[in-house]
Structure formats: structure tokens, C-alpha cells
Amino acid sequence: MTDRYAVFGHPIHHSKSPFIHSAFAQQTGQDLTYTAIDAPAETFTTAVRTFFAEGGKGANVTVPHKEAALALADDATPRAQEAGAANTLLFTADGAIYADNTDGVGLIRDLTNRWGLSLEGKRILLLGAGGAAKGILAPLIAARPRAITVANRTAARAEALTTAFAPLAVRFDVTLTTLPWAQLVHREATPPFDLVLNATSASLAGSTPPLSRALWAPDAVAYDLMYGATPTPFLMAAQQQGAARLIDGLGMLVEQAAESFWLWRGVRPETEPVFQALRTQLAASTAC
Ligand code: NDP
């Protein structure tokens, strides 16, 4: 029988997840369907429970429901608990809902496997302290950079994040600090960074966090978790300011999906053909 999966979010009509999971299923010969379900906050929990009650096997969850997804689960992986948010749900044979968060592993696989970057000993600037930042911080720390600095428009959220992850940072011998948002544009703020990750949603509003030339080490990489048909405002600003390499979050999207697929089906799809197909699709959408 064909197994049913879905992604829940609001809005959801632009989601690439149905394309990605259908491509994975075709590639690996798995018999499944995957649809996008629009669920506003007030109906999210009921919608997920109904989906599972009607035979759904698993789901992805995206903005703005990742925290609610963790809350409704009966059990969760340590990485979902650490993140305080889930992007993957699995309906187990005994009727329980199990939650995972694959965003962090998706980012690390994209950086290391696709783009050949090593994070060990590097200085990383993480912009943002929302759900995505929470999901990626533990795997970033575990990759053993020298230092991670968190800056967020609302300073208290950056402080809360570094406080929560301080014990993990100590365990991996990573210096974890915050930088006031206003200091991002000051030359003397800090030693330069090897990797600047934009985990804010500023690009969605067509803007970028404040940046300065002094932030970038000579071979610095700018990575925006957001992706699109054209370079994001953050990546354009980074290029103007001397970042050596620009990467968007399309690869992370495909990698986090592959990890969810593996959790559900026990099969690891090849991500590169799906990544390339999506890139081509996005490029074609600008040509229209
Ligand atoms: P949240 O809403 O949880 O957090 C938003 C973050 O962005 C907060 O830190 C917020 O700061 C900051 N922010 C919002 N608007 C601005 C602005 N105009 N200027 C500066 N900072 C701003 O969102 P998520 O963390 O879930 O998502 C963040 C981004 O990551 C999104 O673009 C999303 O698409 C992307 N993402 C990509 C994934 C992928 O697979 N490629 C996976 C997950 C997320 P404040 O605290 O001050 O409000």
C-alpha cells in the first residue's frame, strides 16, 4: 500500500518539500505520496493528529510550527530536545508520535559534503537566534570550531541561546559568545570570521543584517539559510564586502529532507541530483 507523508506549514504553497520527497521516492523505489498541507496555528495540532489517525506515516513541519511540533510529540530525539523544535514527525507502529530535528545535520552535511568545508578550528558568526539558529547550534558546536559568536537583533534571544548551549560549548572546547547587533558594523568589534551564517529571516523581507568589511577573514564564506532564484540580499552584501564564497540554503534544504527520508524509510537517497534539479528549476523561474 502507498504510504502517505506531508509537510505542514503556513503559508506552504511555495514549499519544495513535495518535489524533493517525490524525487527521493522515485530514485529509491519507495511507494509513497507526499503533499503540502496549509495549517494555521489554531488548527496545526488537530491537522497533524487527523493526518496520522487517517494513516499518515510521517510529516515535516516548517514555519511557524516547529516548536508546536515538538510539543505535540510523545517522544523526541536529543537533537530535537536540544533545539526546542522539531521539523520531522514519525508515527510509530504503537501509535506514538516521535519528533526529530534534521535542520542541523542538513546544514553540516551541506557545508562539509557538498561544499568541502571543514569547520574545525574556524571562527563562526551566527546571525539570528530564532528556530533555525536553535536547530543548528548544537551540530555547529560539535563540529569543533574555535569560536562561535551569536548576534541577534533582539539581544536577549542571543543571550538566552548562548546560555542554553554553554555547557555543550564547554564540552567541545568552543568559545561561545554574543556580539551586540549594533557592533556588527564596527571595525574593531572582533577578530574576523571564517564563516558567517545568516539564520535570520531578514532576506524574506528583502533586507540583510548590518555587516562590515571587518567581519570577513580573507577566505571567508557567507552562507544564507534562505535560498532563492537570485542571490539573497545578505549574499549580495557579503559579496560587496569581500566574502570569498557565497552559498545559499538550498543544499541544506535537500540534506535535511534526506535525513527525514532516512528516518521514515531507512533508505538514504542521493541528494546531488535533486539539488541540481531544484537549482535548475529556480533558475528557470527567473527566466519566466
Ligand atoms: P524565526 O522566525 O524563528 O526567527 C527569525 C530570526 O530572524 C530571529 O532571529 C529574528 O530576530 C530575525 N529577524 C527577522 N527579521 C529580521 C530583520 N528584518 N532583520 C534582522 N533580523 C531579523 O525563523 P527561523 O529561525 O525558523 O528561520 C530563519 C531563516 O532560516 C528563514 O529565512 C528560513 O527560511 C531559513 N531556514 C532555512 C532552512 C533550510 O533548510 N535552508 C531550514 C530552516 C530555516 P528577532 O529575534 O530580533 O526577531
For 246, the domain range is: 104-250
The answer to whether position 175 is within a domain reads yes
Residues in the chain: 288
**CB 128 less than 6 A from any atom of ligand 1:** yes
Q: Which of 66, 86, 101 is the last residue of a domain?
A: 101
Candidate list 57, 66, 122, 134, residue with the active-site label: 66
Asked whether residue 287 is domain-assigned, the answer is no
What is the model's pLDDT at position 189? 55
Q: What is the pLDDT at residue 134?
A: 92
Q: Is residue 270 part of a domain?
A: no
pLDDT for residue 187: 62
Distance 200 CA to ligand 1 centre (A): 3
DSSP for 158-222, please give it: HHHHHHHHHHHHHHTT-EEEE--GGGGG-GGGSS-EEEEEE-SSGGGGT------GGGEEEEEEE
Q: What is the pLDDT of residue 163?
A: 97
Q: Total structural domains in the chain?
A: 2
pLDDT for 254: 98
Contact between residue 62 and residue 12 where contact means Cβ atoms under 8 Å apart: yes
pLDDT along the chain (288 residues), means of 10: 96 95 98 98 97 97 94 96 95 95 97 98 97 94 98 98 97 97 79 96 91 94 95 96 96 98 98 98 78
Same domain, 75 and 22: yes
Q: Give the pLDDT score at 1.
A: 85
Q: Which amino acid would we find at residue 280? A: T
pLDDT of residue 186: 79
Asked whether 103 lines ligand 1 (CB < 6 A), one says yes
Q: Which residues contact 280 (CB under 8 A, 6 or more apart)?
A: none
The CB of 200 under 6 Å from ligand 1? The reply is yes
Q: Has 154 been labeled as part of a binding site?
A: yes
Q: Are residues 229 and 217 in the same domain?
A: yes
Q: Give the per-residue pLDDT at 233.
A: 96
Residue 66 annotated to the active site: yes
- Specify the DSSP class assigned to residue 110: I
Characterize the bridge pairing of strands 216-224 and 193-198. Answer: parallel
- 227 is known to lie in a ligand binding site: yes
Last residue of a domain, one of 49, 82, 101: 101
